[in-house]
Structure 1
Amino acid sequence: MISFFDLKNSFSGRMWAILLKPFLKNLGAGSRIVCPLKIKGLNKISINESVIINPLVWLQVGHPEGHLQIDSGTVLGHMNHIFVLRSVHIGKNVLTADKVYISDNLHGYEDVLTPIIHQPIKQIGSVVIGDGSWLGENVCVIGAKIGKNCVIGANSVVTKDIPDYCVAVGSPAKIIKRYCTINNKWLKTDKNGVFLEEK
């Protein structure tokens, strides 16, 4: 049974999509943007087909050459914050839980005599979230790539690349499990993703 809340969000998502479509670089058919908190750099944002952006999401591209790409079938949870200086690419059918932060940059902090708010933002590495991956609640991805069909556990901070078919948890995130294509099953690994012997 569809609730009033679901109907309201569906209607709101379609209305925001209609309003924002002329200003976005691309907005694919069937995509919904429900009550965003803030969207800046609209002409640098590409959203493909059947994407759902849940309420209170903040999307921002803060550089003239920057680009945010969100591929088909992806669902962004409530209160996600994505800040792009150069490049963030979220693949197909990615699922993010609530309060996920994704960024390709950090504030500079080298000058101890200058407040950090007045120091320049530094690009640290392009972000790619591979097709079919899932980011749990409160995950932060900062200047790193995550492979296909990965699971990133809640409250994890990803600052180094994660290969395809991995489970990673912690702050900083470490790989704890990986899919073995030889045995066709998930196996425990060390923090570098190297398979441990089965017991």
Structure 2
Amino acid sequence: MISKFSRLFYYLFIFPVYKLRFGKLGNRAYIRSPLQLDGTSRMFIGSRVRVGYKTWLAANSLTGEKASLTIGDGTHIGNFNHIYATGQITFGSQVLTADKVYIADNLHSYESIHMAIIDQPIKQLRSMHIGDGSWLGEHVCVIGASIGRGCVIGANSVVTKDIPDYCVAVGAPAKIIKRYCMQEAQWRRTDSNGNFI
């Protein structure tokens, strides 16, 4: 829980400085003791966004792409998250992430066996979008994939392929186990191909 004093101190002294540094910082956005902020001028944070304790946010052009990180209104990012955009990562509105979530639109190359991976270039993946109202559970890892609106991604899942709107996905790699059936207005289980059971 954040004390009233800490919140007051943030809005009086830290928020005005962040306002100058960020590409956009919306009203009542709160970034709590970040671990690291890289490329703040390329970050666009909406209103009423909450970023948890010791989270690392980055928007760095390491691959020649124009990097940007956009977080929509009312989104809450958990503690100890690591969100790294070398291209484009966009969060919709009212997204919720639990603690220790990793989201990146890039990978370390490992093509050469004659070179340490640390010395190989960063590989750019495609742009990513996390849809409005989705929830990512604890220790979720999303690499180069988009997630639709209204989705639930179970704890410890690794998402490497796109998840459509209104799905529940779990596992490593993440697989869809439920989808919302619009005709029946209820959640239904699916088989491994995403068909209703």
Q: TM-score, length-normalised on structure 2? A: 0.94
CA contact (8 A) 1:24 1:42 kept: yes
- Which secondary structure does the structure 2 equivalent of 1:22 belong to? helix
User: Structure 2: any 5+ residue segments left out of the alignment?
Assistant: none
Alignment of 1:88-127 (within 5 A): 88-127=89-128
Identify the residue that residue 10 of structure 1 maps to in structure 2. 7
Deviation at 1:42, TM superposition (A): 0.7
Identify the residue that residue 18 of structure 2 maps to in structure 1. 20
Alignment of 1:180-195 (within 5 A): 180-195=181-196
Alignment of 1:59-70 (within 5 A): 59-63=57-61, 65-70=66-71
- Which secondary structure does the structure 1 equivalent of 2:21 belong to? coil
User: Structure 1: any 5+ residue segments left out of the alignment?
Assistant: none
CA contact (8 A) 1:154 1:169 kept: yes
Deviation at 1:8, TM superposition (A): 4.9
Deviations 1:118-156 (CA, angstroms, capped at 9, x unpaired)? 100011121110000000000001000100000000000
CA contact (8 A) 1:105 1:122 kept: yes
Distance 2:88 2:55 in 1: 18
Identify the residue that residue 80 of structure 1 maps to in structure 2. 81
CA contact (8 A) 1:16 1:34 kept: no
Count, aligned residues: 193
Distance 1:9 1:194 in 2: 49
Deviation at 1:195, TM superposition (A): 1.0
Deviations 1:47-94 (CA, angstroms, capped at 9, x unpaired)? 011100111010111206110000000000000100111000011000
CA contact (8 A) 1:165 1:178 kept: yes
Q: Which range moves more in the overlay, 57-66 or 87-96?
A: 57-66
Deviations 1:2-59 (CA, angstroms, capped at 9, x unpaired)? x6x4435534553433221101100011111110000000110000111001110101
Identify the residue that residue 39 of structure 1 maps to in structure 2. 37
